[in-house]
């Protein structure tokens, strides 16, 4: 497989160009003729055979998974039908977030932050164009360097560098944004703050693996928990704190656009080992404790809740917070009462941070109910506990898990152990045996992926998405400290398996792929989809799902799609008008199997490109030369790490 265009050996340069053209042409012709003549295959199989053999044998032409800003790649001309051509959106749409559009948000009530929730465009309002990267966009730094540095051209926003300067959120230094690791409640750095929490919360023993960070800012808590083997799902609204979630994802930290408002969080019950709020501005004592009850719903028995900031330690800070002592005292009193009612035991109060633990035995003990209006227990029979998509939040307590339920093992053991939900038979049709078979199947699939894309294990991909995650088999098979996977369980899926994903120590989210995902453009390096288009057949337009994939995929990002051959041929035809380079491969077990795999790489292009077509090789080289200051090598990056003159990222 070719990895990068240009160059070649001295022997190749010495050959006659005409002879090479003739040889390649004959090679392609006879492989296509042989594929056409084969018996025992359907139309789709014969086409896929031709594509696969043409790619493998004709001069070694294939996809490059390197990040060389749109260099030579595969030429695929298997589809005779004309492909739709998608124009580029206007340059002003470079950070378009369809379901979190600021103008549309203002049409909705501000009460309970409704206007900051998801409000997606109708079919007539939907943009059907390709969202461009901003001029000068470059490949992000590899992890862990990306934790601290982001090229300014990728997210060209300065407001937080001024507004949060004393809190060390982010600094603008030349052509870079630098993230010192600070936060509103930990201006001295997230590491020191985590050390303080670790005196109470057992991060080191693997029992706390998944963390929900509410109102995350630029997600420095999650960025620094990563080194301790803890993965945080961070969220914040798209509001006046411009691009905070975009900064988080550019850094390589899991995050999504969201708010704790009127709609339930897109997670099943008992998902997280810890929830965290560092001055997140959520009114915990309001609405009868409804927001604390929602955290209780997604918090596992034995999990921890950390509240850092107002009203904790109000006696010392009430003047700085410009609030009265009486007001703050009343707020904390209500929080304490709601926590006790939820069977949360307060473990410590350290400066401005307090830590509670949800009792593991809440199902068999009696918890206090001495609040002004004790809430009811949520009606478990009314709907599935996992049915949360666009469902209203309620001031009710989720029934605790049954006594005697299998306890989670520490991470990383729980990644491969049978999850409690599977052992308890909570997922219809899924047994310990079928669960093991599913994981073995994905090990085989990923082994085949690695043969095509050797960069899969090389740190090339930090932010990965699985669009139809099932039980997280793909994420477990590609698991690496260099990457993380957003495991999406579609609302259209037959089985709700996201709880299983979390019990493995992985993270994910519910989502409907007929709508846009709650993220900024260009936030994922690799998107994997198994049977997504078959799942959504007749539910929404294929081109809308593909355009959304293109929006959230980085330039030179990779797509891997598994589906039936007839489905993938339709995908391939549409995607050929989206500046994707593609190859198709057979199922690793047999070419007779209708399921195939489509590999694609998104071309590099930006808002200042004059044409929708890739630039000629000469122009590419000229552009590369003129922008070399933005695309410096890793050695140049290292030599300038201490100054504000760092320019760009590793190719």
Q: Which residue has the higher pLDDT, 80 or 452?
A: 452
Same domain, 380 and 275: yes
- Tell me, yes or no, whether 149 lies in a domain: no
CA distances from 583 to 531, 545, 555 (A): 17, 19, 18
Neighbouring CB atoms inside 10 A of 547's CB total 23
Q: Looking at the structure, tell me whether residues 425 and 304 fall in a common domain.
A: no
* Token pair belonging to 419: 């999850």
In a domain, 49, yes or no: no
525 vs 649: CA distance, rounded Å:
15
The pLDDT value recorded for residue 60 is 32
Q: Which of 143, 133, 137 minimizes the C-alpha distance to 252? A: 143
Look at residue 144 in the predicted model and tell me its pLDDT.
96
- Looking at the fold, whether 598 and 553 belong to one and the same domain comes out as yes
Tokens of 281: 């501005």
Mean pLDDT (whole number) for 123-135: 94
Q: Are 361 and 477 within one domain?
A: no
Asked whether residue 440 falls in the same domain as residue 295, the answer is: no
Decide which of 564, 585, 602 is a domain's last residue: 602
Judge whether 142 lies within some domain. Answer: no
354 and 248 share one domain:
yes
Least confident of 54-58, 171-175, 486-490: 54-58
Whether residue 486 is found in the same domain as residue 596: yes
Q: Which residues, including other chains, have CB under 8 Å from residue 387's CB and lie 6 or more apart?
A: 496
In a domain, 384, yes or no: yes
Task: Domain of residue 337: give its range.
Answer: 188-397
Q: Is the peptide bond before 412 cis (omega within 30 degrees of 0)?
A: yes
Evaluate whether 465 touches 430 at the Cβ level (below 8 Å). Answer: no
Q: How many domains, the chain?
A: 2
Q: Give the pLDDT band (50/70/90) at residue 406.
A: low
Please check whether residues 118 and 228 belong to one and the same domain. no
**306 Cβ contact partners less than 8 Å away, ≥ 6 residues apart:** 197, 201, 274, 275, 276, 277, 278, 353, 354, 355
Using alpha carbons, list the distances in angstroms from residue 282 to 106, 286, 329, 414.
Answer: 20, 9, 17, 32
Taking 60 as the threshold, does the pLDDT of residue 20 lie above it? no
**Contact (CB, 8 A) for 166 and 183:** no
User: Both tokens of residue 127?
Assistant: 């943009």
| CATH number of the domain where residue 370 is located | 3.40.50.150
pLDDT in the model for residue 38: 37
584, 445: one domain = yes
Q: What share of the chain is helix, strand, coil (3-state, %, to 5)?
A: 35, 20, 50
Mean pLDDT score of the chain = 83
Residue 441 lies in a domain: yes
559 is a domain residue: yes
* Domain contains 178: no
Q: What is the DSSP string of 552-613?
A: HEEEEEEEEEEEEHHHHHHHHHHHTTTTEEEEEEE-SS-TTSSEEEEEEEEPP-BTT-SSSS
Q: Is residue 364 included in any domain, yes or no?
A: yes
pLDDT digits (tens, 9 = 90+) for 133-181: 999 999 999 999 999 999 999 999 888 777 776 778 899 999 999 999 8
Q: How far apart are CA 446 and CA 472, in angstroms?
A: 13
pLDDT at 371: 58
Read off the pLDDT of residues 251-262 as tens digits, 9 standing for 90 and up.
Answer: 999 999 999 999
Please indicate, yes or no, whether residues 428 and 387 belong to a single structural domain of this protein: no
**Cα distances (Å, whole numbers) of residue 143 to 15, 148, 191, 228, 484:** 42, 9, 17, 15, 11
For residues 631 and 446, what is the distance between their CA atoms, to the nearest angstrom? Answer: 31
Residue at a domain's end among 582, 602, 622: 602
C-alpha span between 264 and 268 (Å, rounded)? 10
pTM (2 d.p.): 0.84
Q: Name the band, by pLDDT with cuts 50, 70 and 90, for residue 43.
A: very low
Whether 317 and 462 share a structural domain? no
Residues 516 and 525: their CA atoms lie apart, in Å, by 17
C-alpha–C-alpha distance, residues 51 and 417, integer Å? 39
Q: Span 308-319, mean pLDDT? A: 92
Each residue's pLDDT tens digit, 285-297: 999 999 999 999 9
- Whether residues 446 and 358 share a domain: the answer is no
């Amino acid at each position: 497989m070719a990895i990068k265009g240009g160059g070649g050996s001295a022997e190749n340069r010495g050959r006659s160009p005409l002879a090479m053209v003739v040889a390649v042409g004959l090679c392609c012709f006879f492989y296509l003729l042989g594929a056409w003549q084969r018996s025992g295959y359907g139309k789709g199989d014969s086409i896929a055979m031709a594509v696969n053999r043409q790619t493998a044998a004709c001069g070694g032409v294939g996809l490059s998974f390197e990040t060389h800003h749109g260099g030579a790649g595969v030429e695929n001309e298997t589809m005779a039908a004309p492909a739709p051509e998608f124009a580029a959106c206007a340059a002003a749409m470079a950070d378009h977030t369809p379901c979190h559009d600021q103008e549309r948000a203002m049409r909705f009530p501000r009460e309970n932050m409704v206007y900051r929730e998801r409000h997606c465009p109708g079919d007539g309002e939907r943009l059907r164009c390709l969202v461009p990267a901003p001029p000068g966009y470059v490949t992000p730094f590899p992890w862990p360097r990306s934790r601290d540095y982001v090229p300014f051209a990728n997210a060209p926003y300065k407001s937080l560098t001024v507004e949060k300067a004393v809190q060390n959120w982010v600094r603008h230094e030349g052509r870079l944004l630098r993230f010192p690791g600070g936060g509103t409640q930990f201006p001295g750095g997230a590491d020191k703050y985590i050390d303080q929490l670790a005196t109470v919360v057992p991060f080191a023993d693997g029992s706390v693996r998944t963390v929900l960070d509410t109102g995350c800012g630029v997600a420095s808590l999650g960025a620094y928990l990563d080194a301790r083997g803890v993965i945080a799902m961070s969220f914040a609204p798209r509001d006046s704190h411009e691009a905070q979630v975009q900064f988080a994802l550019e850094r390589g930290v899991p995050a999504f656009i969201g708010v704790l408002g009127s709609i339930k969080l897109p997670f099943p019950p008992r998902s997280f080992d810890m929830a965290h709020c560092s001055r997140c501005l959520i009114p915990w004592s309001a609405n009868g404790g409804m927001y604390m009850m929602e955290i209780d719903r997604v918090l596992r028995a034995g999990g921890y809740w950390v509240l850092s900031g107002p009203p904790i330690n109000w006696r010392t800070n009430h003047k700085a917070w410009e609030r009265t002592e009486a007001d703050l005292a009343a707020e904390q009193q209500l929080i304490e009462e709601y926590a006790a009612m939820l069977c949360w035991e307060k473990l410590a109060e350290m400066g401005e941070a307090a830590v509670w633990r949800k009792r593991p035995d809440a199902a068999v003990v009696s918890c206090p109910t001495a609040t002004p209006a004790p809430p009811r227990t949520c009606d478990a029979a009314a709907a599935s506990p996992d049915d949360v998509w666009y469902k209203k939040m309620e001031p009710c307590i989720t029934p605790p898990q049954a006594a005697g339920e299998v306890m989670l093992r520490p991470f990383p053991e729980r990644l491969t152990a049978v999850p409690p939900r599977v052992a308890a038979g909570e997922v219809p049709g899924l047994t310990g045996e079928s669960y093991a078979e599913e994981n073995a199947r994905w090990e085989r699939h990923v082994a085949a992926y690695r043969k095509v894309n050797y960069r899969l294990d090389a740190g090339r991909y930090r932010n990965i998405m699985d669009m139809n995650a099932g039980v997280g088999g793909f994420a477990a098979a590609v698991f690496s400290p260099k990457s993380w996977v957003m495991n999406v369980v579609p609302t259209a899926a037959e089985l709700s398996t996201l709880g299983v994903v979390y019990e493995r120590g992985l993270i994910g989210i519910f989502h409907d792929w007929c709508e846009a995902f709650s993220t900024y453009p260009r936030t994922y390096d690799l998107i994997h989809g198994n049977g997504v288009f078959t799942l959504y057949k007749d539910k929404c337009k294929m081109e809308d799902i593909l355009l959304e994939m293109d929006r959230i995929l980085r330039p030179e990002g990779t797509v891997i799609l598994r589906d039936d051959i007839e489905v993938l041929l339709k995908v391939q035809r549409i995607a050929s008008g989206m500046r994707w380079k593609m190859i198709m491969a057979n199922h690793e077990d047999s070419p007779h199997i209708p399921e195939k795999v489509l590999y694609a790489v998104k071309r590099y292009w930006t808002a200042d490109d004059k044409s929708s077509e890739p630039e000629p090789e000469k122009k590419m080289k000229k552009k590369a030369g003129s922008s070399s200051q933005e695309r410096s090598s890793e050695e140049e990056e290292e030599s300038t790490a201490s100054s504000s003159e760092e320019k760009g990222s590793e190719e």
